[in-house]
Amino acid sequence: MAMVETFYDVMRRQGITRRSFLKFCGLTAAAMGLSPAYAGKIAHAMETKPRIPVLWLHGLECTCCSESFIRSAHPLAKDVILSMISLDYDDTIMAAAGHQAEAIIEETIEKYSGNYILACEGNPGLEQEHTGGMSCIIAGKPYTEQLRHAAKHAKAIISWGSCASWGCVQAASPNPTGATPIHKVPDLGNAPIIKVPGCPPIAEVMTAVITYILTFERLPSLDRQGRPKMFYSQRIHDKCYRRSHFDAGQFVEKWDDEAARKGYCLYKMGCKGPTTYNACSTIRWNGGLSFPIQAGHPCIGCSEDGFWDKGGFYNRLTSIHQFGVEENADEVGIAAATVVGGAVAVHAAVSALKRTQSKGDQE
């Protein structure tokens, strides 16, 4: 039997000395409030524990989550796959096909029951009348079967992207396939589910969720909706670099106008930043390079539940309870042109007030 590579092996290969490794174990013990004697036990565990197996299943989806994942700048997708996890099943990149591929799921369940992560990209279609529950067929069977089987023995489930988290585009009205997000699929077992929404999620957020679990050996803190708080507890609008223009009532009125060229607020172009919980305006995309608003397009709210059915992407937000002031954007904008100081002050004050009111809305 071949030697099983452990976390320790991985760390060693990545250039960490044994001395540093033991120090790391000691610090970890201290951080966990354990006596120094536990450092040896932690070291032992890390020396003997295999890379965590991951089954990455694909249902009704477009593969944008996988495409995003491979764009991660830190860590590189290569290093995640070679050194951190054991990506035993992922039909998008695996060498095996057909029954040799499906055999891997059985083997992983047999060998690692309760100890592997199930990563879900896409969702199952449950509609029966026209599609027979067969809008997504794998090995001659409905995807739902493969999903349930793998879910029941998993340690935890990651719902990648808006398909797995909310349903996304195929679940948009009238949802012809009965596309259903993972957490709403009946008879799935009890494994905890982490939602990482977005269409797709930000690459570095995806790899961060994985490395967080491996490093701290626990799931990240989740909000009420099951999303990691560290990435999904604030609105795009809260941290948008154009926020000052919003507060000042300076808005883009139409494509490529003078305001657009100056980088003013895109709220009146339909921006959904004020109602979208995601890390785009802080982590940004593709190695922190940019994000949709920075490139001149309003946020379409792609990490929100049902964002396809919340009115057009270019229609201004109006009926947002925790967010009343923007209905006055036109008036404020006009006022700002004439009585700049006063209008800005009033607008900013109302914005601040609304921020206070809406605090804690998400949790």
Partner 1 sequence: MSVIKTPNGYTLDNSGTRHVVDPVTRIEGHMRAEVNINSENIITNAVSSGTIWRGLEVILKGRDPRDAWAFVQRICGVCTGTHALTSVRSVENALGINIPENANSIRNIMQLSLQVHDHLVHFYHLHALDWVNPVNALKADPKATSALQQSVSPHHPNSSPGYFRDVQNRLKKFVESGQLGPFKNGYWTNPAYLLPPEADLMAVTHYLEALDFQKEIMKTRTIFGGKDTHPNWTVGGVPCPINMDGTGGVGGLNMVNLNQVKEILTQTKTFIDNVYIPDILAVGQFYKGWLYGGGLSSQNVMSYGDIPDKANDYSTENLMMPRGAIINGNLKEVHEIDLTDPEQIQEQVPHSWYKYPDGVKGLHPWDGITEPDFDVSTAKGSKHNIEELDENASYSWIKAPRWRGHAMEVGPLARYVIGYAKGDKEITDQLTYVLKTLDVPVTALFSTLGRTAARALEAQWAADKQIYFFDKLMANIKNGDSSTHGGEMWDPKDWPKEAKGVGFTEAPRGALAHWIKIKDTKIENYQCVVPTTWNGSPRDEAGNIGAFEASMMNTKVEVPHEPVEILRTLHSFDPCLACSTHVMTEEGEELITVTTGPIGS
Our finding on whether 138 is near partner 1 (CB under 8 A) is yes
Considering only residues 69 through 98, tell me which ones interact with partner 1, judged by CB under 8 A.
Answer: 70-73, 76-78, 81-82, 85-88, 90-98
Q: Which residues inside 331-350 make contact with partner 1, applying CB under 8 A? A: none
Give the whole-angstrom CA distance, residue 227 versus residue 193. Answer: 9
Helix (H, G, I), strand (E, B) or coil at 89: strand
Site for partner 1 in 26-55 (CB under 8 A): 50-51, 53
Q: Indicate the residue among 52 and 343 with the shorter CB distance to partner 1.
A: 52
Shortest Cβ distance from residue 108 to partner 1 (Å)? 9
276 binds partner 1 (CB under 8 A): no
Residues from 146 through 205 that contact partner 1 (CB under 8 A): 168-170, 172-177, 179, 199-200, 202-203
Q: What is the distance, to the nearest Å, from the Cα of residue 358 to the centroid of all Cα atoms in its chain?
A: 23
Cα Rg of the chain (Å, integer): 24
Q: How far is the CB of 290 from partner 1 (least distance, A)?
A: 5
- Contact with partner 1 (CB under 8 A): which of 286, 322, 351, 362? 286
* DSSP H or E stretch at residue 46: helix 38-48
Q: Which is nearer to partner 1, 118 or 136 (CB)?
A: 136
Sheet containing 117-121: order of strands: 85-90, 52-58, 117-121, 156-160, 193-196
Can you tell me the distance from the alpha carbon of 303 to that of 276, in angstroms, rounded to the nearest whole number? 7
Nearer to partner 1, 142 or 333 (CB): 142
181 HSE (CA, 13 A, CB side) = 25
- Fill in the DSSP letter of residue 302: T
- Rounded to 5°, the CA angle 214-217-223 comes to 100
Smallest separation (angstroms) from partner 1 to the CB of 251: 13
Phi, psi of 181 (to 5 degrees): -65, 155
Residues touching partner 1: how many (CB under 8 A)?
A: 104
Q: Contacting partner 1 (CB under 8 A), which of 225, 294, 328, 358?
A: 294
Interface segment toward partner 1; rule CB under 8 A; list 151-159, 186-194, 252-260, 335-343: 252-260
User: What one-letter code names the amino acid at 279?
Assistant: A
In the window 212-241, what residues touch partner 1 (CB under 8 A)?
none
